Structure 1
Amino acid sequence: MTTEESLVLPPGPPPPRYHNKNWKLISQGAEARVWLIPSFFSVSSTTTTTISSSSHTEAAICKERFPKSYRHPALDLTITKSRTKSEARCLVRCRRAGVHCPAVLSVDNNAGGQQLQTESDGENKVRESSCLFLEYVRGCTVREYIESRSSTLGKDDDDDDDEPKAKKARLDNDDNDSPKKEKERGTTISTLIDKNALHVAYEIGSLIASMHNANVIHGDLTTSNMMIRNPPSSSSDDTNTTNTTTKEEAEEDWKAQLVLIDFGLAGTIGAKGGVSHEEKAVDLYVLERSFVSTHPGSDDLVSEILRAYKSKCQKSDSVLQRLSQVRLRGRKRECFG
């Protein structure tokens, strides 16, 4: 790796050995880093009529679980590899069951890593990273879609044409604490509930039901971990009546294509022949809490999600009954700590 390339590297452990300057870091957390690879593989297409062929490159996502220096090397290696294989296994299982999620392209549990000196012999040993290569899903998250359509009311609510852009910038800056920050400013965020929003909510419930029918638990169901492949166009020329009419007609017939992402905390259930309704209920409870904290006034959307889940999921009555018990435990924890 050249000096020029090393200047653009993010802080933290070294990237995989095949990292190059074209890789773009999307996000980094305590567990892993997510890279965008613009040209991961080539796809060739041949036309029989003209006897000509063409090729184009496809992007991919690399989820790199880097080594943790605070863990024992043997334990760290076991945990890192186990979690990578578990995530890949859950994704493959969901794909086979018809659940919309990224395709697994490759798994590399020996992707290079950092040199660490052991206390016993003083030698430098390489702690390996584990990389999971996934299909790159284009579009926007469900959270971005809902927030772009939400309205803000309060003392800062003026007739300003740029208000939606300013509100979105504030939401992006405040991240998960955005509802709290908006309350401090004297404003109130109201989630827009219309036909399209209810349609997205119903698709979310159907998608979760399909995943649970495949005996897979996501573990981190939030609107940030759901993508819309075909979000409706957000830009139109208001001065052109034809374009405006066309956009309205397109949104009227719009059918959202949802994709579940980030299966880092996912797991399979029913390993001993029994199905855990408790884990499914906790999955739904996590989603409920994410709506409450991130999208105020979205109770109708949650109800629509549960309605779709009840109609699509096997043994949904038992799961929803257990969900009521999980809610009670959650409220008791909030009251008494």
Structure 2
Amino acid sequence: MGFLFQGAESIISDDGETISKKRVSKSYRIKTLDQKITRSRTRREAKILKKLEELGMPAPRLINVCDDTIVMEKIDGVVLKKRIEDSDDPRALFFELGTLVSKIHLANIVHGDLTTSNFISGDKIYAIDFGLSYVSLKDEDKAVDLYVFERAVGCSHDSKFLENFYEGYMRGGNEDVVRRLESVRLRGRKRESMAFG
């Protein structure tokens, strides 16, 4: 199993056919509590991957799970962020991404870390890294998911492509989520104005 990288939450390894994600123990937590939290978060992520597979969503297929490790299918392709950066006209990519995120939200899954770095572009776009994901019926939670994505796009890409993203997103419905997004944006702007005086 070849080491790929270590993030704040996990160590990612690649054996050529599968990806292994091992959650990192937090030394500042009581050991028994740390084990309980790690097991709970690992199982939650595994359940979401399983649900996505059952729904036929483009995401890594779950292969195995234990207390702190998930083994999943390796997706061939490149990180969507790089594919967009290399593209002369990424409008179709943003449209496809919006369609996928809409389907994820319609399944009542909140990704929790929507950035173009958490998608793989291969024969189609695949969603990856569901470590912060959870199930929610609330439009508010899904709207916050979109707000996080908007902020991420503003840092990494041209925000004008959000129009193409929302064209794809609205194809699946989710009008209530987009309406709720307006109030989430307003709260975000208020927080920013308070922070900068």
TM range, smaller chain = over 0.9
Quote the residue 1:172 is aligned against.
none
CA distance in 2, matches of 1:33, 1:304: 34
- Whole-Å separation in 1 of the counterparts to 2:56 and 2:128: 14
Q: Which residue of 1 aligns with 2:178?
A: 320
Unaligned 5+ runs, structure 2: none
Pairing 1:137-152 to 2, within 5 Å after superposition: 137-149=75-87
Q: 4+ runs of 1 displaced by more than 4 Å?
A: none
- Structure showing the higher helix proportion among its residues: 2
What per-residue deviation string (whole Å, max 9, x for no partner) do you get for residues 264-302 of structure 1? 000011xxxxx200001011111111110111x331x21
Would the aligned equivalents of 1:98 and 1:210 in 2 still touch at CA under 8 Å? no
> Deviations along 1:178-227, whole A, 9 cap, x unmatched?
xxxxxxxxxxxxxx4x3xx1111111011011111111110000000010
Indicate yes or no: 2:114 matched with 1:215. no
Secondary structure at 2:168 match in 1: helix
Partner in structure 2 of residue 80 of structure 1? 38
Aligned match of 1:107:
65
Matching of residue 266 in structure 1 with residue 133 in structure 2:
yes
Q: What is the TM-score normalised by the length of structure 1?
A: 0.56
Number of residue equivalences: 195
Asked if 1:131 corresponds to 2:69, the answer is: yes
Identity of aligned residues (%): 37
The runs of 5 or more residues in structure 1 that have no matched partner are 1-22, 39-58, 110-129, 150-191, 231-256, 270-274
| Alpha-carbon distance in structure 2 between the residues aligned to 1:209 and 1:220 | 15
Q: Which has the higher contact order (CA 8 A, sep 6+)?
A: 2
- 1:147 and 1:304 map into 2 onto residues whose CA distance is 16
Matches of 1:67 and 1:32 in 2, distance apart? 9
Q: What CA deviation, in whole Å up to 9, does each residue of 1:98-133 have, x standing for no partner?
A: 211000000021xxxxxxxxxxxxxxxxxxxx1100
1:275-314 maps to which residues of 2 (within 5 A)?
A: 275-295=137-157, 297-299=158-160, 301-313=161-173
Mapped pair 1:31 → 2:9: yes
Q: Which residue in the other structure is 1:238 paired with?
A: none
Alignment of 1:158-177 (within 5 A): none
Q: Paired residue for 1:331, among 174, 189, 193?
A: 189
Measured on the aligned residues, the alpha-carbon RMSD in Å equals 1.1
TM alignment of 1:234-273, pairs within 5 A: 257-269=124-136
Residue 138 of structure 1 and its aligned partner are, at CA, apart by 1.3
**Taking structure 2 as the reference length, what is the TM-score of the superposition?**
0.95
Structure with bigger gyration radius: 1
Q: Partner letter of residue 11 of structure 2?
A: R
Quick check: 2:8–2:24 contact (8 Å CA) kept in 1?
Answer: no
